[in-house]
Structure 1
């Protein structure tokens, strides 16, 4: 049955405290969207409307439960039911398709890292009481240890971190690579950013640094994207001495995962490896100078997941300076990412000193 239009009684109810607070207390709709993403409903509707029984078969779902779920979403403008028992995509539902460049389906999948990340918020009260991440409380291990112990979830984490193509290309545009010879992507996951940099700059060589299981996936990704011969991979922690030889060391969406002490240690390793005259590029997706709502949400997420934090440009600059680097430029990309260009004056003292 289609959703009813508003009436005078509805308007009266809309003045109630429950109606006023509905947008911020509803858990049903967000979880329903995630269930639809996990079932790949949008993928199964690619070729047009599908009858309920057939759609349930494709989704490996109970038909009655699936219909109830979709009708709830339809009332919120996601999916359509052009005829009774026939379900179809609409503009909003298209965002949940696996091929959509936003990467939204991957980020919402309850069977992958995106959904698990959201479920970690069931431990939010623990975080607020203690100031400690909720991830271990909910899943039994600290964040990074959990990913290392669960390769499937680790691979899902890598995929989610690189699923938004538009953000990757936006990050590539954050720096003039024409004066570089060799770029080192520190904590670069499976190499999506490095592959894009090398792909748009044929004279560049690159090195991908991340933990061993991650760079194994990176080696394959770089080869599949035609840049494997110009890239090497190094499986190690970025808290250990980094390979030398690069003239630009990139730290993209890494520092917000860590507290100040750890972030300074990572930057110090970059400065140490780059050496006198070397460059370090810090890229982060949020700044307090931009969208305050997005900043506040991500700041809370980083605390709940791993004990990290979002920072202002001034706070990032303070970390950079503490690591022995000099800021040479700060700018914001078209999609709002913060790019901090840094140089190494003299070779810094060892991080182990």
Structure 2
């Protein structure tokens, strides 16, 4: 409960209230969880579909009417949704951001049944991470991050979809490298193949291979077939800690290395270096937060990666050091308009 401005019974009450006013926006958990609950229940979609009355909304969302009305009225008080008349709700510009078909994709990011919401739930174990230096994910969900995804297909599918979202962002990453001379591009940890599909669009004579764990590889086959690229692509279901498929002249690791500790990240890059050999190239693509342009984003993502899987964000020099430890040399780096850093690497030997 928040302190009351009318409570003057204790000398420290005014100090308490002042502190609350300063901290309230930083410590409030009611509204963030209420928004996530609304996203998970698809309330914006249901209201847009005409179910604006609390009884119908409750029936279609599988919720308790009284609890749902309290949830919605709190969100209305915070500027999310409107109450058009008693017990009947509508969508405003803020609530519209929670629609499943909104291009921002916020519904998926906030859905507590999918990867986006689970990623936030992991922070309930933050104290464990700070005390031990170990990821909180296993403490909260019962198994390490990657094992959990392997055992929970719906969350893994949600993770793959989120990694493949943002067409502009994918095209920006593709545009950060000249693919014109590439004959065979191997996308290591390539997810559903969304990035590789755009690479092959930019390099129409090249072939491609997606390497990812078997369940994700199956989704990649489906996606690439929908893009009519099955004749130009192979999909290999395996760990990238094992020897990678040979024959590529460019091995790409996009937004992969930051998921891992230094030891594991070096091992992934070493596998890429081994497969590329002396004639091939290894292209590492990460986010611009590493360049220090946005210290707040860097700090948040650095903490987030540790809580989830023990990964970390790094500086440009840090990534160059990882490459060197894996037997690679960074020949060039390039920053893209939307904020990727592209490291073009060759064998250091």
User: TM over 0.5, yes or no?
Assistant: yes
Between the aligned partners of 1:99 and 1:196, the Cα distance in structure 2 is 23
Between the aligned partners of 1:178 and 1:59, the Cα distance in structure 2 is 51
What is the 5 A alignment of 1:256-267? 256-267=258-269
Q: 1:294 aligns with which of 271, 294, 297?
A: 297
Residue 135, structure 1, aligned to residue 140, structure 2: no
Between the aligned partners of 1:337 and 1:214, the Cα distance in structure 2 is 24
User: Relative to 1, partners in 2 of residues 1:250 and 1:122: Cα closer, same or farther, differing over 3 Å?
Assistant: same
What is the 5 A alignment of 1:278-317? 278-285=280-287, 286-317=289-320
**What is the deviation of 1:49?**
7.8
Q: Which moved more, 1:103-112 or 1:331-340?
A: 331-340
Q: Residue 214 of structure 2 aligns with which residue?
A: 212
SS in 1 for 2:220: helix
Cα deviations by residue, 1:49-83 (Å, 9 ceiling, x for unpaired): 83333333332222332222122222222222333
Checking the alignment, whether the CA contact within 8 Å between 2:190 and 2:254 is kept in structure 1 is yes
Q: Residue 222 of structure 1 aligns with which residue?
A: 224
SS in 2 for 1:111: coil
TM-score, normalised to structure 1, is 0.89
Structure 1 gaps of 5+ residues are 1-6, 347-353
User: Relative to 1, partners in 2 of residues 1:332 and 1:13: Cα closer, same or farther, differing over 3 Å?
Assistant: farther
Between the aligned partners of 1:223 and 1:144, the Cα distance in structure 2 is 26
Q: Residue 111 of structure 1 aligns with which residue?
A: 113
Checking the alignment, whether the CA contact within 8 Å between 1:106 and 1:163 is kept in structure 2 is no
Between the aligned partners of 1:13 and 1:57, the Cα distance in structure 2 is 45
How large is the Cα RMSD of the aligned pairs?
2.3
Between the aligned partners of 1:71 and 1:98, the Cα distance in structure 2 is 21
**How many pairs align?**
338
Between the aligned partners of 1:67 and 1:197, the Cα distance in structure 2 is 48
Between the aligned partners of 2:32 and 2:45, the Cα distance in structure 1 is 19
What is the 5 A alignment of 1:324-335? 324-335=327-338
User: Relative to 1, partners in 2 of residues 1:45 and 1:331: Cα closer, same or farther, differing over 3 Å?
Assistant: farther
SS in 2 for 1:267: helix
Checking the alignment, whether the CA contact within 8 Å between 2:51 and 2:57 is kept in structure 1 is no
Checking the alignment, whether the CA contact within 8 Å between 2:185 and 2:248 is kept in structure 1 is yes
**What is the deviation of 1:180?**
1.5
Between the aligned partners of 1:296 and 1:345, the Cα distance in structure 2 is 32
Between the aligned partners of 2:85 and 2:204, the Cα distance in structure 1 is 53
User: Relative to 1, partners in 2 of residues 1:163 and 1:45: Cα closer, same or farther, differing over 3 Å?
Assistant: farther
Between the aligned partners of 1:107 and 1:131, the Cα distance in structure 2 is 26
Checking the alignment, whether the CA contact within 8 Å between 1:170 and 1:335 is kept in structure 2 is yes
User: Relative to 1, partners in 2 of residues 1:67 and 1:321: Cα closer, same or farther, differing over 3 Å?
Assistant: same
SS in 2 for 1:241: coil
Q: Which moved more, 1:282-291 or 1:249-258?
A: 282-291
SS in 2 for 1:228: coil
Structure 2 gaps of 5+ residues are 8-13
